Chains A and B, each alone.
Chain A
Amino acid sequence: MTEDYFGFTNKLFAPQDTDKKAEALKGLRVLDLSHMIFGPTAAKFLAQYGAEVIKVEVPNQGDYWRGGTYWGKYWKHSNPLWHFINQSKYFVAIDVKKPKGKDLILKLAEKADIVIENFTSGTVEAWGIGYSQISKINPKVIYASLSTYGQYGPKRYNPGWDLLAQGASGVLSVTGHPDTDKYFKVPDFFGDFFPGYYAAMLILIALNYRERSGEGQYLDGCQAEILMRALSHFTYHDATGNDLGRTGNSDPTMSPSGIFKTLDGKFLALAIASDKQFQSFCKALGREDLARDEKYNKAFRRLQPEHALTLNKVVEEWVKTKNAAELIELARKHRFAATEVMDDVQICNDEWRQERGSVIPFEDDMYKKLVIEGPIAMLSKTPGRTKWLSRPLGYHNRYVLKKIMGLTEDQIKELEKERVVGNWDYRVGQRPPIYHDLAKDKIFNYEGGEDH
């Protein structure tokens, strides 16, 4: 008898062994010139799988998201929502507008495999650190310019970020209830994170190509265009002549489908995708007559708005009479999809996610415990991992400038005096937590030697 399948997979993935396994992107260097969320997320993904990511910020100012947060809540003198976006990176602060700063950045770029920036179209070119300049000193570089409207086209100079990209791409117009005048945005900067991962995907495609051809290239990552890629509404519009509009709680591609309230006051999401699932769902419901009904037994008819509405009413009444746990057990047994609507605290404390490694209670040398998200994809041989949380502005100046650039302490002091490189000022988000003893910090005061 062979081993049970889950016995095999549990050993194959074993999150506790992650640190012993190889890193797929080890040896690759990423120069992350980006700020806020879109660009830094792409760089973070590469850091999770082993790339050495050097994040460059402006001295005494830093990435604006350092000082951002929700509800004015900070954590240990930092924005708690900044750490997971900038995990395992190296933080240097260099002023690009000073000629010596520009030279430093060019020298770093010469040694980089990937450069990521997300300024307004043309800005890096004007600063002298764009693709046309860097590709001359490093022809194999993969250079990703990320922006809301892309690098060319009449709207290229329009500013933008998550909110504006959601409005411009059509994403905003499809969420909400059709009988109201409210359009809900997709929260938590989906319009930055999703394009960030998509940009990482494009960078990896370019990397795979470079591996076989030896050639680098330029990448125009357009945030709004990437959001449009996730909508079937354009294909739907041109095929039917109609706009799908907002559909409230239900998914118009599945019937029945919706979010319903259970007897114990919880919210249950339920959706039926296939005819087979519909048959077994009707069994669980005790309404096998519906499974035989010609109005419902085939998906394309079941999906007609009036039939979907009738079925959703039936489900609504049924869900009202049962507790959430009971319904989910029925779903499991009868193999249809139903789940409770999970909130922040449930996700944070979810045993399954912690066992899986997709929610990590991380112990950091500087910030101590913080719960963060794990990698989006679990790889059996080269799993993603977090090495450290974010660090104060310019924290790795010495480490990067000495180790990678070969500068001496005197040269760095000179650059500091000229304000070419620097670190934090008093503002929240830039400085280290108050309890941290900088004098004893070997990385901050890096003199040479061991790896970090």
Chain B
Amino acid sequence: MIWPRTRYLITKEVRTIKERIYSRYLQKTSSSGPLSEWSQLLSKMMTSEGKPEALDDMMVLDLSYANFSGNITASFFAEAGAEVIKIEPPEGDPSRIVSPYGANVKGVGIPYLMESRNKRNVALDLSNPEDRENLKLLATRADVLIETFAPGEMDEWGIGYRQLRELNPGLIYIAITPYGHYTAKGKEMAGMPWTDLTSQAESGLAALIGDLPNTPEPYNWPTRAGFYAAGYTSAVGAACGGLVASFFKRRTGEGQMVDIASADAYASCVGFPPTIGYVWKKPRFRYGTLDYGLCPYGFFKCKDSYVAIACFRDQDFRAAMRILGKWKLEGEWKTLLDRITDDIDKVQELNNEVEDAVAKYTYDEINEKFSSFSVKSARSKWRGGGLPVTTKMLTPKEVLQEKHWQIRGSFAKVEHPSYGIVTLPVTGKLSKTPLRVKWLSADIGEDNEYIFKKYGLVEKKSG
């Protein structure tokens, strides 16, 4: 489907209620010059066709094995244009069989399929000396190598950072393991494999998700975030680290080693656990659907969906109470200080009242009420009435149907001879070198011929 382009870019015409409120600075702008320039730039950003790729001068070896963070890190490089060669043993990377309820397309699991974008698939048997020589040949040419074997394993095979840096001093060697490649615990736990669930647990995430202490077991137990929250966080951390190293290499020619501990990357990303542990002196307990900072702040069940009620400031709270027909509560909960959520029994009272109120409306009713209130208060000079904000919880299926994402091209559909048409989320809208999905390659050894020829690798004599 082709959407009219300019309609969704900046125009003088302001249509929706939301636009009227939140584009107030734009509306005041009299000179149309810069805006039309910006609008032109945005319209050119809607496609990646014919644009250069940022990292197409880089070669990346993806040796990740039974560890999704490695696959994902390599995908980011591949989306930015690097030549990424996924190397796996002839029987395949076990990540292939890690998939929700065993769902697969011709034997390949969904998460693996999703992270097979723009890669070249090569089968090498690293237990065989001839293939190790092939790997060395590749590593001599590579800018980045990503591996997820147990710390010391590659070194034992003679193809670890210690050996490869001699062959290629510019090599950036990214290792992703649960406890990292140094420290006493790293050594002790070297054999522990990666999983997303244990990474979530070890990095303090699982301890915070789940229902309140007074609810029945197992609902009040630590709970898993329902996607690879730790896996993707480690991967973005690894890519960030690798790109910092690559920037340094471009300036000095020097490579280095980048180490990611997936049992910790999540905690380092959000940063709250260590500081709270130090300042609070005691751990937080699970807060159900409540929030540690504000109340009411979360998604509440309405007639037909779940809707966000989020009150940052007192005026937002007053507005929400007025709209939801709960004005009589305002006196008791007037200021932020009254709504601090450290006294759980107390804030639950307020939360329950909001729950009851929200349950009487549909999402559209609430959205309409909130929006028209905001329009009025945005017009008032002091805006003392608050700007209540809401949105609706969407399921992945509903997200796929959103026109907004279709226009932005947030989902690529790629065809592969073995796997048919596959839907893939993609994002990285850079004006000159956008990230993009070009192809999928997920058959074991699919590109052996191409890569062997290109880099002059030697076919094994044995087997």
CB-based contact A211/B247 at 8 Å: yes
- A248 and B219 CA atoms in complex are apart in Å by 8
- A78 and B340 CA atoms in complex are apart in Å by 17
Question: Nearest chain A CB to B234's CB is how many angstroms away?
Answer: 8
Name the residue of chain A whose CB is nearest to the CB of B206.
A341
CB-based contact A24/B224 at 8 Å: no
CB-based contact B34/A163 at 8 Å: no
Question: Interface digits, A217-250 against B, CB 8 Å rule (1 contact, 0 not)?
Answer: 1111110011011111111111110011111111
CB-based contact B111/A253 at 8 Å: yes
CB < 8 Å neighbour of B104 from A159, A258, A300: A300
Name the residue of chain A whose CB is nearest to the CB of B14.
A157
CB < 8 Å neighbour of B204 from A8, A68, A71, A342: A342
CB-based contact A159/B389 at 8 Å: yes
CB-based contact B392/A342 at 8 Å: no
CB-based contact B198/A197 at 8 Å: no
Name the residue of chain B whose CB is nearest to the CB of A209.
B54
Decide if A185 is an interface residue (CB 8 Å cutoff): yes
A252-B100, A355-B184 known; A381+B256 contact, CB < 8 A: yes
Question: Nearest chain B CB to A201's CB is how many angstroms away?
Answer: 5
CB < 8 Å neighbour of B251 from A10, A150, A211, A301: A211
Decide if B10 is an interface residue (CB 8 Å cutoff): yes
CB within 8 Å of A: which B232-250 residues = 232-233, 236-248, 250
Question: Interface digits, A46-65 against B, CB 8 Å rule (1 contact, 0 not)?
Answer: 00010000000000000010
B123-131, B185-193, B454-462: which lies at the A interface? B185-193
Question: Interface digits, B261-304 against A, CB 8 Å rule (1 contact, 0 not)?
Answer: 10111011111111111111111100111001100011101000
Decide if B35 is an interface residue (CB 8 Å cutoff): yes
Decide if A175 is an interface residue (CB 8 Å cutoff): yes
CB-based contact B432/A209 at 8 Å: yes
Question: Nearest chain B CB to A228's CB is how many angstroms away?
Answer: 5
CB < 8 Å neighbour of B97 from A300, A375, A379: A300
Name the residue of chain B whose CB is nearest to the CB of A344.
B277
CB-based contact A359/B274 at 8 Å: yes
Decide if A376 is an interface residue (CB 8 Å cutoff): yes
CB-based contact B274/A339 at 8 Å: no
A269-277, A409-417, A432-440, A443-451: which lies at the B interface? A269-277
B133-141, B317-325, B326-334, B405-413: which lies at the A interface? B405-413
CB < 8 Å neighbour of B404 from A155, A167, A381: A155
CB-based contact A371/B278 at 8 Å: yes
Question: Interface digits, B46-90 against A, CB 8 Å rule (1 contact, 0 not)?
Answer: 100000101101000000001000000000100010000000000
Question: Interface digits, A335-375 against B, CB 8 Å rule (1 contact, 0 not)?
Answer: 11111111111111101110110110100000000111111
Decide if B167 is an interface residue (CB 8 Å cutoff): no
Decide if A168 is an interface residue (CB 8 Å cutoff): yes
- A209 and B205 CA atoms in complex are apart in Å by 35
CB within 8 Å of B: which A6-31 residues = 6, 8-10, 12-13, 22, 24-25
CB-based contact A345/B243 at 8 Å: no
Decide if A397 is an interface residue (CB 8 Å cutoff): no
A123-131, A283-291, A419-427: which lies at the B interface? A123-131
- A149 and B429 CA atoms in complex are apart in Å by 12
CB-based contact A347/B227 at 8 Å: no
- A145 and B175 CA atoms in complex are apart in Å by 31
- A355 and B270 CA atoms in complex are apart in Å by 20
Residue numbers in A under 8 Å from B29 (CB-CB) = 125-126
- A433 and B289 CA atoms in complex are apart in Å by 34
Residue numbers in A under 8 Å from B188 (CB-CB) = 332
CB-based contact B306/A167 at 8 Å: yes
Decide if B418 is an interface residue (CB 8 Å cutoff): no
Decide if A305 is an interface residue (CB 8 Å cutoff): yes
Decide if A133 is an interface residue (CB 8 Å cutoff): yes
Residue numbers in A under 8 Å from B195 (CB-CB) = 251, 254, 257, 271-273, 337
Question: Nearest chain A CB to B324's CB is how many angstroms away?
Answer: 18
Closest 4 pairs between A and B when the two form their complex, measured CB to CB: A348-B277, A377-B241, A174-B226, A269-B201
Known: A5-B152, A73-B342. 18 other contacts (CB 8 A): A12-B257, A24-B247, A45-B240, A71-B342, A83-B275, A152-B46, A167-B306, A222-B408, A232-B100, A239-B422, A246-B226, A249-B222, A254-B197, A346-B204, A353-B264, A356-B183, A356-B264, A370-B278
Please list 5 pairs of residues, one from A and one from B, whose beta carbons are closer than 8 Å in the complex, sorted by A's number.
A131-B41, A157-B16, A172-B299, A208-B55, A220-B42
